[in-house]
Amino acid sequence: MTWLTATADRIYLALSMVSKAINAIGTLVVLGLVAAVNFDVIARGVFNAPFRGSVELVQFSIVLIVFLQLPDVVRSGKLTRSDGLLLLLGQSKPRITGTLRRAINLLSAVLMLLIAITIWPEFVEAWETNDFFGTPGIFTAPWWPVRLVIFLSASLCCVLWICKALGTEPEGHTGYSDKRDGI
């Protein structure tokens, strides 16, 4: 193992730990959302006093949940995809399949990079203007945390897909069997 391969492995493992950690944070947001919705249902039914701002809280949380958990889904290879063609092609043309898989990973990295580039100015504007969403007097929250999470998540996904495309994932860290694809 060369020093470059060892360094790439350490970088990928560090990115893996970060993606697992923010996935755990996303899970905590899910649990908080479940608690808030249950509180709203109970308060509405028992006390006839609904939790004000529950709709806004759900809207805010859904985006956070998706983007907090996305990097770990990318890392683990569990992102919903249709790879039937790659599975069939992999049996007879493993090198072509490996090349196609790498091209798909690079395209995915480019798309995540475009999302990161697009959301960055929106984050900066929301930060500078202290832009809020919600209903004043009921529930308001700043937009910048959501946009920052989107930016960081898209950036991390971009790097993870580049690692996958370059084959820098350590053995056993892919979400699918690369051996069948001849990679």
Q: What pLDDT, in 10s, does the model give residues 77-136?
A: 887 777 777 777 777 888 888 888 899 999 999 999 999 999 999 999 999 998 888 888
Distance CA(183)–CA(121), nearest Å, equals: 38
* 149-156 average pLDDT score: 97
The whole-model pTM stands at 0.83
Long-range CB contact pairs, 74-83, < 8 A, 24+: 74/19, 74/108, 74/157, 74/160, 74/161, 75/15, 75/16, 75/19, 75/20, 75/160, 75/173, 75/175, 76/175, 77/174, 77/175, 77/176, 78/175, 79/175, 83/176
State the average pLDDT for the chain: 86
In the prediction, which pLDDT does 85 show?
74
In the prediction, which pLDDT does 69 show?
96
In the prediction, which pLDDT does 119 show?
97
Range picked from 5-19, 41-55, 142-156 for highest mean pLDDT: 142-156
Nearest to 158 by CA among 99, 98, 107: 107
DSSP state of 81: -
3-state secondary structure string, 108-167? Answer: HHHHHHHHHHHHHHHHHHHHHHCCEEEECCCEEEECHHHHHHHHHHHHHHHHHHHHHHHC
* 27-33 average pLDDT score: 95
Lowest mean pLDDT among 30-34, 63-67, 96-100, 142-146: 96-100
pLDDT band with cut points at 50, 70 and 90 for residue 177: very low
Q: Bigger pLDDT: 53 or 45? A: 45
When divided into structural domains, the chain yields a total of: 1
Distance CA(168)–CA(68), nearest Å, equals: 23
Look at residue 179 and tell me whether its pLDDT is greater than 50. no
Q: Which two tokens stand for residue 89?
A: 């092609």
Range of the domain at 67: 3-181
Tens-place pLDDT, residues 159-168? 999 988 888 6
